[in-house]
Amino acid sequence: MAILELNDVHSYYGNIHALKGISLNVEKGEIVTLIGSNGAGKTTTLRTIQGLIRPRTGSITLEGEELTRLPAHEVNRRGICQSPEGRLIFPRMTVLENLEMGAFTRTDHSNIGQDLERVFGLFPRLKERVKQKGGTLSGGEQQMLAMARAMMGNPRLLLLDEPSMGLAPLLVETIFDTIVALNKQGITILLVEQNARMALSIANRGYVLQTGEIRLQGDAARLRDDEEVQKTYLGGH
Amino acid sequence: MTETNPTTQRALRILLIVAIGYLALLIGQPAGLDVGRIITDVATTPTNVLQQLVIGLANGSIIVIIALGYTLVYGIIELVNFAHGEVFMLGAFTSLMALSIFTTTTATGGLTAPFWAALLGFIPAMLVCGLLNAGIERLAYRRLRNSPKLAVLISAIGMSFILQNIGLQFGALGKLTQVGPEFQIFQVLGSNNAAPKSFPVVLSTANLLGDFPIRITQADVLVMGTALVLMLTLNWFVQNTRLGKAMRATAQNRDAAAMMGINVDQIIALTFLIGGALAGAAGMMFGLYNGTVVFTMGFTAGLRSFTAAVLGGIGNIRGAALGGILIGLLAAFSDQYLAVRWTNAWVFLILVLVLLFRPTGLLGQESGDKA
């Protein structure tokens, strides 16, 4: 059974019809990517899954359990953690406090220390800066912190929104390597990216969004070879 | 905005400050700003300066505790809770009622209550005001959370009118004493709704320093001590506890906090609860220190505390502490050396000047997440 399933989801920003019937699914252990240009509805899809936007119609289920009308904090408690667009780290809290907030709802306190070591293993840079305030980190470090913070929630499904945004190419490589490493540890990932080439190179499957609708879907390798995708999102050749 | 070079800008600013200073000297005369008299006063009784320092610190402590309520709420939802001063006023009334249970009439006809009753009285005052403030949020602010800020602000002003009228009508309960002896606890309210109510005498007015020309009474020590304990407790709570951290996270980024599984509505309610409880404690402190409470006192206290919060940097807990002490001192020295009836005008002037020249306050704003 799919871990996450969206069925004909419609979301609005005020009167703007932002998602026009999104249906998608994510299977356990997969990396699934949502690609598309600015304003296609990628972030809106993640915000709707998270419960920050309430869909007008349609349903969202997590392993069969209905999430559609739940507020964001309840969605988090059911195991969906997000590294959001723009990172949204807590700028006046230390790196350690940011990570603690990631584990806010957990009751298995004995495992939290272990997970902390795990994210420090993935992001050694953060360990060096535990006592530093989040707002004083560089862009790349903030991105690492946002991902590490989401990891601290021990998610069943990890949502990553534009983890490569605004980062130097070398850092982008590191971030994508980490995403693959996370996936190898058994974490299911839904990845939103503008950097379609990178996203499709690590994903199992992909969806192409255009103005709030799913335009194409399928195996990442097949999408990469698709003529239309190449022309529009991979900059031709 | 036209581009001017920084030197011109600085020159203009200095000129503006000089002009304001000149105007202050000119029109300050009727407002008590008589430099000659002030020099004579200070020269003849220099101990008065220290005395006002003590009074200013004590009143400043009360202002700090109220200002914390403004600053906590502003920090988390960027709302100036105009009803906060009235919550403080109702806190003073609750304190008065809590004390009235233990109030006895002395041989000379005055009202008195034991010291432990005053300490015990903090509990109902803080509880009632905490719940009241959280109730106000639930009733008047929560459903406006996604409306323009002006809507919430107007709602807050409306709430303050309602609360002030509750304070006025509350005084009418004093009439119940005419119904029967079982209503004796209402005798502290007197027979006139609107008149100031006297707090029973709880603390000795003797000078703890003996014959020393500067008076420090039990009330001074109690008020400053309580304020210190409350401030340190709040600071510890916000810095170290799980809920305190959730409060900070919510203040810094509400969406991110919700993504972490923090129930943002609950945290906002908790913030109002804490702010209200502090206002309730301040009500008791005010009553014990100043001896009388009146239903209009929320306005003055609110103005001074709000100014204190803005002066220190609204949203910033340490800023509220600094601003509160400074405003308390300003008020005390203005009362002594300028003129009592102009003190609020000076406080207002500070508010205007801070908003004009340094809107982030002395220690900087800490609210919102624009980083």
- Report the C-alpha gap between A125 and A103 in whole angstroms: 20
Distance of CA A191 to the CA centre of its chain: 5
Average pLDDT value for residue range A64-85: 95
Name the pLDDT band for B8 (thresholds 50, 70, 90).
confident
The predicted pLDDT at position A57 comes to: 95
Please give the structure tokens belonging to residue B3.
């581009």
d(CA B84, CA B226): 20
Calculate mean pLDDT across residues A167-176.
90
CA distance A89 to chain B (A): 7
CB pairs under 8 A between A and B: 69
Give DSSP secondary structure letters for B20-69: HHHHHHHHHTTTT--HHHHHHHHHH-THHHHHHHHHHHHHHHHHHHHHHH
Choose the closest CB to B260 out of A71, A76, A91: A76
Provide the CA B55 distance to its chain's centre, in angstroms.
15
Choose among B313, B87, B290: nearest CA to B197: B290
Environment class of A63 (CB within 10 Å of its CB; exposed 0-12, middle 13-18, buried 19+):
middle
C-beta of residue B258 within 8 angstroms of C-beta of residue A72: yes
Q: Do B263 and A73 touch (CB under 8 A)?
A: yes
Cβ–Cβ contact A12 with B under 8 A: no
A48: nearest Cα among A192, A220, A187, A176: A192
Q: Is A57 helix (H, G, I), strand (E, B) or coil?
A: strand
Alpha helices, DSSP H only, in chain B? 6-28, 35-44, 47-77, 84-100, 115-136, 149-170, 218-240, 242-252, 254-259, 264-290, 297-312, 317-337, 343-357
Which pLDDT score is estimated for B366?
59
Q: Are B75 and B150 spatial neighbours (Cβ–Cβ below 8 Å)? A: no
HSE on the CB side for A114, CA within 13 Å?
5
Q: Can you give the pLDDT at residue A6?
A: 96
Residues from B in contact with A at Cβ < 8 Å? 242, 245-246, 248-249, 252-253, 255-264, 366, 369, 371
pLDDT over 90 at A177, yes or no: yes
Question: How far apart are alpha carbons B322 and B354 in whole angstroms?
Answer: 14
Phi/psi at A37 (5° precision) = -80, 175
Mutation site, A49, A90, A108, A141, interface B, largest B CB count within 10 A: A90
CA distance A62 to A56: 18
Helices marked H in A82-166 — which ranges?
A: 95-102, 109-122, 124-128, 139-151
Element at A73 (helix H, strand E): helix A72-77
Element spanning A4, H or E: strand A4-13
* Sign of CA pseudo-dihedral B351, B353, B354, B356: positive
The verdict on A36 touching B (C-beta cutoff 8 Å) is: no
Question: What pLDDT does residue A230 have?
Answer: 86
> How high is the pLDDT of residue B368?
46
Using the Cβ of A155 and the Cβ atoms of chain B, whether some distance falls under 8 Å is answered with no
Distance separating alpha carbons of residues B194 and B168, to the nearest angstrom: 6
Q: What is the pLDDT of residue B1?
A: 47
The Cα-based distances of B329 to A87, B38, B322, B336 in angstroms read 44, 16, 11, 11
User: Are B258 and A73 inside 8 Å of each other by CB?
Assistant: yes
The rounded radius of gyration (Å) of the Cα atoms in chain B is: 22
How far from chain centre, in Å, is Cα B336? 20
> Tokens in use for A108?
């298995």
What pLDDT sits at residue B242?
Answer: 95
Q: What is the pLDDT of residue B2?
A: 55
Can you give the pLDDT at residue B4? Answer: 66
What pLDDT shows up at residue A142? 95
Q: State the smallest CA–CA distance between residue B258 and chain A in angstroms.
A: 5
- B301-340: per-residue pLDDT in tens? 999 999 999 999 998 999 999 999 999 999 999 999 988 8
The interface pTM score, or ipTM, of the predicted complex is: 0.93
- Any CB–CB contact under 8 A between A71 and chain B? yes
Q: List chain A residues with CB under 8 Å of B261.
A: 73, 76-77, 104-105, 153
Residues of B within 8 A of A97 (CB-CB) are 245
Predicted confidence (pLDDT) per residue in A108-156, tens digit: 988 999 999 999 999 999 999 999 999 999 999 999 999 999 999 999 9
A97 and B CB contact within 8 Å: yes
Grade residue A205 by pLDDT with cuts at 50, 70 and 90: very high
Mean pLDDT of B206-228: 92
Query: Quick one: tokens of B347?
Result: 């406080």
Kindly state the average pLDDT of the residues B288-305. 94
Banded model confidence at residue A106, pLDDT cuts 50, 70, 90: very high
Question: What residues pair up with A35 in beta bridges, in sequence order?
Answer: A193, A208
Contact at 8 Å (CB) between B285 and B223? yes
Whether A82 and B249 lie within 8 Å, measured CB to CB: no
Residue B172 CB coordination number (10 Å): 14
* Structure confidence at residue B182 as a pLDDT band (50, 70, 90): confident
CB contact under 8 A, A52 and B259: yes
- For residue B257, what are the CA distances in angstroms to A74, A116, A233, B70? 12, 19, 33, 22
Nearest by CB to B262, which of A93, A97, A104?
A: A104
Percent with pLDDT over 70 in chain B: 97
Which H or E element spans position A200? helix A196-202
Rounded mean pLDDT of chain B? 91
Q: Is B300 left (phi over 0), alpha (psi -120 to 50) or beta?
A: alpha
H/E segment holding residue A23: strand A16-26
Q: A167 touching B, CB under 8 A?
A: no
- Nearest-CA distance from B251 to chain A in Å? 9
Collapse the DSSP code of A219 into the 3-class scheme (helix H, G, I; strand E, B; otherwise coil) and give the result.
Answer: strand
First to last CA, chain A: 38
At CB < 8 A and 24+ separation, what contacts does B338-347 make?
B338/B31, B338/B32, B338/B33, B338/B38, B339/B31, B339/B32, B342/B31, B342/B32, B344/B300, B344/B303, B344/B304, B345/B31, B346/B31, B347/B303, B347/B304, B347/B307
DSSP string spanning B225-255?
HHHHHHHHHHHHHHHHSHHHHHHHHHHH-HH
User: Which residues in chain B are closer than 8 Å to A91, comparing Cβ atoms?
Assistant: 252, 369, 371
- When CB atoms are compared, the residue of A71, A90, A153 closest to B249 is A90
